[in-house]
Amino acid sequence: MTLLDDLSGYEFEDAIASLFRALDYEAVSVADRVADEGRDITMRNGDTAVVVECKHTDTVSRPVVQKLHSAVATYDAVGPKRGMVVTSGRFTGPAEEYAERLRANGDPHPIELVDGADLRRLGEQVGMDLYNGRIEIVCEETLPVGDPERVLVDAFEPVENAPTRAALPAPDVDVRYRPIVDAEAVTRATFETSVGVIHRIDRRDHLVVDADREGPSLAPGGAATLVGVEPMPIDEARSNHGGDVSRFGATESEYREWVKRRLCDRLERTVSYTGGNNVTYERECRPAPSDVRLGTVRSLYLPRVTAGVELGEYSHGYAYDAAGDRQLVREDRIRRCVHCDTSGADAASYTYCGNCGSINCETHTREERLTGDPICTGCAVIEQFFFAEKYFFDETNAERFRERYEAMPFYRKPLENPRLLAVVVGIVALAILLAVAAL
């Protein structure tokens, strides 16, 4: 049994819409299931409006073609108009004769007939395998990758003592194009009992779905802020940045149904109401998939960019979803302390250690005693002077300061421990005051 035989009527319409999108038709839209007025799909081919009637049947007769001809003639569209009947089966002789007569007579609204064999040939043109039990989504657009090197440099800017743009080495960049489905939906549902309306739903939702082979799931928060960016051809993006492309894990019809079910789950409520007998009742108000009307449903790729640099002994990376100048951070291994779990906004500031290449929070950052530069507690050579710990880049610096300390006058050495010196001075001052008071 072929794939087309396995599809429901609605799934067949969605599959045909996917095919025409892949064939570069524009503004491909599937009509509302309730009342399509004989126009299952509308789209444009250049300046021509095309109205499609889908028939998932063994045979299509002449009345179907005649009905579509009338629907095209009354269709409100700018410019020339034509119709197309698409079937998974075949057309009867009278149906073909009627369509041929329209063309021969120069009718302003000709009707093209596309049968099951034609569908398979069209699918092969765009890489749709209509024999393997699935119609995979064929997508040729991605959100733009942008400039990964600039994004990485910008991520270093809040880090104190970070290398300058010129000093940062060229990053290693990996791009993976992840499939997503961008869907807009309107849900309208009314729930009534004998006492009247107890709950009403009338809302719009925008969902971005991760559509890889691990199964559909809602994309991590913020993805909806990226999909408004103008997409670009994925071949062009890969020629500039390389990267692997993940395949879509389901058909467009399956994603549409998943979005509807997900919205029904999200909008389900338990509603309390008082009946006519003054008794309080509870009712589960769950919209049905038929209450959800999908508007724009787009399939495209979302680049996941991972950029990293080697600095000293450490690697610092930054992973984000890209849409040109917009980014959604997924992993920040720059603004984090390599010595503890502090990361992101958990610290007021982070500081780069030029000695070992690490980035550290305030707790693990010190001042190098000899040079005054920042140094982390992980790589520093630590010695005590006047009971206070001092931090050095290496043994050479520690030895140089040791010699300087030995040469200091005795009254300057306590300045290496200001806190202890302040306590001692305070105690001495207090003792003098007590002694004076005792006189």
- Reduced to 3 states (helix: H, G, I; strand: E, B; else coil), residue 376 is strand
Quick one: pLDDT band at residue 288, thresholds 50, 70, 90?
Answer: very high
Which residue carries 């003054």 as its tokens?
A: 278
CB 322 within 8 A of CB 303: yes
- Reduced to 3 states (helix: H, G, I; strand: E, B; else coil), residue 378 is coil
| DSSP one-letter string for 236-260 | HHHHHH--EEPPPSS-HHHHHHHHH
Q: Average pLDDT for residues 333-359, to the nearest whole number? A: 91
pLDDT value of residue 297: 85
CA distances, 266 to each of 257, 273, 286 (Å): 14, 21, 9
Closest CA to 249 of 198, 178, 187: 178
Distance CA 284, CA 413 (A): 78
pLDDT value of residue 44: 94
CB 73 within 8 A of CB 49: no
Backbone phi and psi for residue 60, each to the nearest 5 degrees, phi listed first:
-125, 125
Residue 203 pLDDT exceeds 70 = yes
Going along 62-105, which residue ranges are E strands?
Answer: 81-87, 90-91
Q: Average pLDDT for residues 181-204, to the nearest whole number? A: 95
Instruction: Encode 257-272 in three state secondary structure.
Output: HHHHHHHHHHHCEEEE
Q: Average pLDDT for residues 152-178, to the nearest whole number? A: 93
pLDDT value of residue 1: 31
Quick one: pLDDT band at residue 269, thresholds 50, 70, 90?
Answer: very high
CB 56 within 8 A of CB 88: yes
Distance CA 102, CA 21 (A): 27
Residue 102 pLDDT exceeds 90 = yes
Distance CA 32, CA 117 (A): 27
Q: Residues of the chain with pLDDT > 90: what percent?
A: 67
Q: Average pLDDT for residues 205-223, to the nearest whole number? A: 90
Q: Average pLDDT for residues 400-412, to the nearest whole number? A: 92
Q: What does the block give as tokens for 438?
A: 């005792």
CB 226 within 8 A of CB 193: no
Which residues, at least 6 apart from 8, have a Cβ–Cβ distance to it below 8 Å? Answer: 56
Terminal-to-terminal C-alpha distance of the chain: 113
- Reduced to 3 states (helix: H, G, I; strand: E, B; else coil), residue 22 is helix
pLDDT value of residue 110: 96
Residue 133 pLDDT exceeds 50 = no
Higher pLDDT, 90 or 271: 271
Higher pLDDT, 213 or 312: 312
What is the distance, to the nearest Å, from the Cα of residue 432 to the centroid of all Cα atoms in its chain? 70
Q: Average pLDDT for residues 132-141, to the nearest whole number? A: 63
pLDDT value of residue 125: 84
pLDDT value of residue 144: 97
> Which neighbouring-strand residues pair with 299?
181
What is the CA angle 299-302-305, rounded to 5? Answer: 165
The CATH classification number of 3-135 equals 3.40.1350.10
The domain ranges of the chain are 3-135, 180-241+248-299
CB 314 within 8 A of CB 159: no
Q: Other CB atoms closer than 10 Å to residue 128's CB: what's the count? A: 23
**CA quadruple 230, 27, 31, 115: dihedral, nearest 10:** -130
Q: What does the block give as tokens for 175?
A: 């791009």
Predicted confidence (pLDDT) per residue in 36-61, tens digit: 566 889 999 999 999 999 998 888 99
